[in-house]
Amino acid sequence: MRLPCSPRRDEDRFATGLCKAVTYLKMISFQYKALPWNIIFGAGALSRLPEELGKLGYSRALVLSTPNQVGDGQGIVNLLGDKAVGLFDQAMMHVPVETVAQATAEVKRLEADCSVSIGGGSTTGLGKALAFNLGLPNIAIPTSYAGSEMTNIWGITENNRKITNRDNVVVPALTIYDPKLTLTMPAAFAGASGLNAMAQAVANLVSEDPNPIVSVMAQEAIRALSHSLPIVISNPDNMEARTEAMYGACLAGGALGTGTTGLHHRLCHTFGGAFNTPHAETHTILLPHSVAYNAAATPVGTGKIAEAMGVDDAATGIFELAKTIGVPTALKDIGVKRTDLDEAAAAATETPVNNPEPVTRGRVRALLENAYHGRAPQPV
């Protein structure tokens, strides 16, 4: 009997194709752990919140927002009617432990049985912290492209030090994506937030051992974000582009949630922690440089990124996209001093990091020099 992996005749193309597929599948080896996502996505989806809250069996929601989005928070309280017990409007960037303590007191005082976060990653982060500390289920209503609602990563900041870890208890019981809620995002923030999302997807295509299922999400996220973000910036009221960008952010968050991180995220956390640089902008500046750093070791991953973006070179394509959407491309433009670079390179390389290219202090310092000046990305 003839086996499909040993075709006798050249014209037997089916058998040859099958042979290739079998060989390819033999090379694939991976573990994939899904997260318990429960997602409703679509323009106008927010109106389903009261009904969906009831289906989950919750009836005493504490709504969370930043001071900046107190109006959105009040809107949710009004929408929920007697299913809302209060509004805590003090969510802050990087989830300070003091804020978590204040919100915890409100949960207990009001006997809340769930939280509803409306806002960006900071507000989602507070809902996650309450879920981690109290086991309080969280419903996330994202209004930026941070993607935190798709991950099991929680973080709390104490004494200027951010502790992060993974735990599935922080995955929202429900996430409602309503792209209409992103219409109020200022253009500068929308661009940076979108590239922050893209970094989550990119990191999972240029990782040491990309997971094939995560890669599918990541590549589609990059396609959607690179296509939609320039339109979101040039035509902020375009609902199709707003919808595609939010869809891309959802998938990018999914890639981060079920995937991994490498040198890029290490660098961003180093700058955020040591120099308090703005989260999304730090990502936008460093991303092209960390892709260039790993390019030689990740030809398949960078090829997939370039294909998704419709460009020849991944790092250059991301750099050009950042310029097109008008986000910062130089560390010197977000308050970093040149004298900070040595300290940052030392801190980022203090402990080992999983990364396709070996991470050395000298090469990281060279990467940072390029990023500081806003030069075009290049191998170092």
Nearest position to ligand NAD, beta carbon: 121
The helix (H) or strand (E) run that includes residue 310 is none
Q: 53, 116, 171, 181: which one contacts ligand NAD (CB under 6 A)?
A: 181
β-bridge partners, 196: none
Tell which residue, 209, 196, 212, 370, has the closest CA to residue 293: 370
Asked whether 174 and 40 are in contact (CB, 8 A), the reply is yes
Q: Fill in the DSSP letter of residue 139.
A: E
Can you point out the beta strands (E) in 120-158?
Answer: 138-142, 153-158
Q: Is position 146 an interface residue for ligand NAD (rule: CB under 6 A)?
A: yes
Question: In angstroms, what is the minimal distance from the CB of 133 to ligand NAD?
Answer: 15
As a residue count, the chain comes to 380
Rounded (10°) angle between helices 361-373 and 263-275: 70
Q: Which of residues 315-374 bind ligand NAD (CB under 6 A)?
A: none
Q: Is position 191 an interface residue for ligand NAD (rule: CB under 6 A)?
A: no
Q: 279, 283, 289, 304: which one contacts ligand NAD (CB under 6 A)?
A: 279
Q: Is position 69 an interface residue for ligand NAD (rule: CB under 6 A)?
A: yes
Asked whether 69 and 119 are in contact (CB, 8 A), the reply is yes
CB closer to ligand NAD, 65 vs 370: 65
Q: Is position 202 an interface residue for ligand NAD (rule: CB under 6 A)?
A: no
Q: 18, 19, 79, 93: which one contacts ligand NAD (CB under 6 A)?
A: 93
Q: 49, 85, 87, 185: which one contacts ligand NAD (CB under 6 A)?
A: 185
Q: CA-CA distance, 59 to 55, in Å (whole number)?
A: 10
Question: In angstroms, what is the minimal distance from the CB of 101 to ligand NAD?
Answer: 18
- Name every residue whose Cβ is closer than 8 Å to that of residue 138 and which is 6 or more positions away in sequence: 114, 115, 116, 117, 124, 127, 128, 130, 131, 170, 172, 173
Q: Is position 261 an interface residue for ligand NAD (rule: CB under 6 A)?
A: no
CB closer to ligand NAD, 72 vs 357: 72
Question: In angstroms, what is the minimal distance from the CB of 270 to ligand NAD?
Answer: 13
Residues that bind ligand NAD (CB under 6 A): 66, 68-69, 93-94, 119-123, 125, 143-144, 146-148, 151, 153, 155, 181-182, 184-185, 189, 193, 256, 279-280
